[in-house]
Amino acid sequence: MDWGWVGDHRTLIFDLARDHVELTVLAVVLGLALSFPLALAARRWRLLYSPVLSAAGVLYAIPSLALFALLLPWTGLTRTTALIALVSYTLLILVRNIAAGLDGVPSEVSEAATAMGMRSSRRLWSVELPLALPAVVAGIRVATVTTIGLVTVAALIGHGGLGQLILDGLNRDFRTPLVVGSALSVALAATADVMLVGAQRLLTPWARRDA
């Protein structure tokens, strides 16, 4: 490790780490915004469940490099290309977990809420979604950690956050940026996972009491 290089490139490392976090947050938030209505539709109209998961599964199965290559003629070497690919990989995880969480709500709880005069939308937000939150957050955790890893691959099109350091280290056969980029990517994934676990514990205090 060349610690002198690290000291001289602190600003660059910080900027790349910030870009890495921004890409991850944008991808997961956009993925959640797309997945939530898809999961609700699949839950309401069961015929849609298999086609929605199959389509998301096809996107998830496409290798990242191949997906970038397919998008390049349309969106070029832009951040949009990276985001489209990253969002695509979150859909299967999020749709499946949201639908599973909502399906796991006991029917008697939903029936009791309906008997109390709650409409479907209020029942969803006030009763069903809070109970489904552990499964939803579990999906967000997996999607976030996966996205942090995939962001590094986007360095191949110039938008990979810490992946730029990894790519630079590989191209120059220089170990220091390779180690720094890899270590910080792992640290980001671990930190994000711990933060999401903490958020889940804060949002579901009844789960702690039950435990």
Confidence of residue 206 (pLDDT cuts 50, 70, 90): low
Query: ∠24-26-31 over CA atoms, to 5°?
Result: 95
- Dump pLDDT digits (tens) for 59-68: 999 888 888 8
pTM of this structure: 0.90
Give the lowest-confidence range in 33-47, 100-114, 172-186: 100-114
Question: Furthest-apart CA pair in the chain: how many Å?
Answer: 68
How far, in Å, CA of 85 to CA of 150, rounded? 9
211 is a domain residue? no
Query: What is the arithmetic mean of pLDDT over 48-59?
Result: 90
202 is a domain residue? yes
- Closest of 8, 23, 9 to residue 161, by C-alpha: 23
Check pLDDT > 70 for residue 168. Answer: yes
Would you say the C-alpha torsion 13, 167, 146, 81 has a positive or negative sign?
positive
Provide the mean pLDDT of the chain: 88
Check pLDDT > 70 for residue 12. Answer: yes
Residue ranges making up the domain that contains 67:
3-206
88 is a domain residue? yes
45 is a domain residue? yes
- Specify the pLDDT at position 140: 94
Would you say the C-alpha torsion 194, 145, 147, 200 has a positive or negative sign?
negative
How far, in Å, CA of 96 to CA of 139, rounded? 8
Cβ neighbours of 185 (radius 10 Å)? 22
Confidence of residue 120 (pLDDT cuts 50, 70, 90): confident
Contact 28, 144 (CB under 8 A): yes
161 is a domain residue? yes
How far, in Å, CA of 209 to CA of 131, rounded? 14
**Greater model confidence, 170 or 30:** 30
Give the side-chain half-sphere CA count within 13 A for 136: 24
How far, in Å, CA of 61 to CA of 176, rounded? 32
DSSP letter at 160?
-
Number of domains in the chain: 1
- Closest of 187, 105, 192, 80 to residue 143, by C-alpha: 192
Q: The CATH number of the domain where 197 resides is what?
A: 1.10.3720.10
How far, in Å, CA of 50 to CA of 200, rounded? 28
- Closest of 164, 117, 140 to residue 12, by C-alpha: 164
Check pLDDT > 70 for residue 196. Answer: yes
Task: Please report the DSSP string for 162-180 in residue order.
Answer: THHHHHHHHHHT-HHHHHH
Query: What is the arithmetic mean of pLDDT over 181-195?
Result: 94
**Greater model confidence, 186 or 199:** 186
